[in-house]
Amino acid sequence: MDMPRNVFKQLLRQRRLQIGLFVGLADAYSMEILATAGFDWLVIDAEHAPNNPATVLAQLQAAAPYPAHLVVRPVNHDVALIKQYLDIGAQTLLVPMVETVAEARALVRAVRYPPQGIRGVATSVVRAAQWGGIKDYARHANDEICLIVQIESRQGLANLDAIMAVEGVDAAFIGPADLAASMGYLGESGHAEVQAAIEAALTRIEATGKAAGVFVTDPLLARHYRSCGASFIAAGGDTSLLRNAAVQLASSFQDNSQPFDDESDS
């Protein structure tokens, strides 16, 4: 069996537009629905959603037959947890709250086998290597792993150029909500100063020759961010989609202006 190629990583290098969705329901069945919906990439969120290696594994398995590329966002920078996500088959990680060059370098080492990194080797017992079935997995894994750092604070912005210069960092993703909070505008990611910071960050990332990404739910704003250099965009989250659709449906049937009761028999 040959080493699976990380097509998502290749498309990032080509700056091809890719539209994604954050997935937080922690359910394999709903993941399979989303994997067939036409998104280019899906982020299994283990930072804010109740995911762990077992639920992430089930979702990776559920989405495996479909073309959407799965990205895993761990809860933090824990090296052992990162190893587990890689071993169960994640090829791309989106790591939250990266603020310094030292953190970026440590993450690069965490996702790579020696001598470039410190990832533990156990190819005969891990799903990523098909339990030893993938020929020379350990030799080629480093080339196929994709590391995306999430920039979402003032400090991250201040160190952005140096972080992007770290070899092994493939892309950066801007998190507007936390960035707004860091800038003193909690809950106001649409504030003019926050928007200006996002635009500048996308331009700076793209200028380094690496891919820039951002979370944005407004298609018009997404097109603007695209013009600023964004090539991979997260257009929303599954939990919001479910709640908004449910609220809208319930409201449409509870509209008192058009009652369902047949009063003609009373």
With beta carbons less than 8 A apart as the criterion, state whether 19 and 233 touch: yes
With beta carbons less than 8 A apart as the criterion, state whether 232 and 213 touch: yes
How is residue 31 written in tokens? 């993941």
Distance CA 17, CA 40 (A): 9
Query: Torsions phi, psi of 102, nearest 5?
Result: -60, -40
Quick check: 266 pLDDT over 90? no
Quick check: 265 pLDDT over 60? no
Instruction: Report CA 21 to chain centroid distance, whole Å.
Output: 8
Quick check: 206 pLDDT over 60? yes
Distance CA 68, CA 34 (A): 9
Quick check: 183 pLDDT over 60? yes
pLDDT of residue 45: 98
Distance CA 15, CA 17 (A): 6
Strand 230-237 with 18-23, pairing: parallel
Structural element, H or E, at residue 174 = strand 171-174
Structural element, H or E, at residue 65 = none
pLDDT of residue 108: 98
Closest CA to 47 of 161, 146, 152: 152
pLDDT tens digits, residue range 32-60?
A: 999 999 999 999 999 999 999 999 999 99
- Check if CATH label 3.20.20.60 holds for domain 7-253: yes
Distance CA 152, CA 161 (A): 14
Distance CA 201, CA 197 (A): 6
Chain mean pLDDT for the chain: 96
**pLDDT interval class at 156 (50, 70, 90):** very high
Quick check: 24 pLDDT over 90? yes
Distance CA 184, CA 180 (A): 6
pLDDT of residue 259: 63
Q: Would you list the domain boundaries of the chain?
A: 7-253
Mean pLDDT, to the nearest integer, of 200-213? 98
**Which positions are annotated as active-site residues?**
48
With beta carbons less than 8 A apart as the criterion, state whether 35 and 62 touch: yes
Distance CA 82, CA 104 (A): 14
pLDDT of residue 257: 65
pLDDT of residue 255: 73
Distance CA 1, CA 21 (A): 30
pLDDT of residue 1: 84
Distance CA 117, CA 220 (A): 41
How is residue 126 written in tokens? 């891990």
Closest CA to 108 of 171, 173, 168: 168
pLDDT tens digits, residue range 61-111?
A: 999 999 999 999 999 999 999 999 999 999 999 999 999 999 999 999 999
Distance CA 239, CA 105 (A): 33
pLDDT tens digits, residue range 235-264?
A: 999 999 999 999 999 999 987 666 666 555
How is residue 82 written in tokens? 């990162």
Which residues contact residue 198 at a Cβ distance below 8 angstroms, ignoring those fewer than 6 apart?
174, 176, 179, 214, 225, 228
What is the gyration radius of the CA atoms in the chain, in angstroms? 20
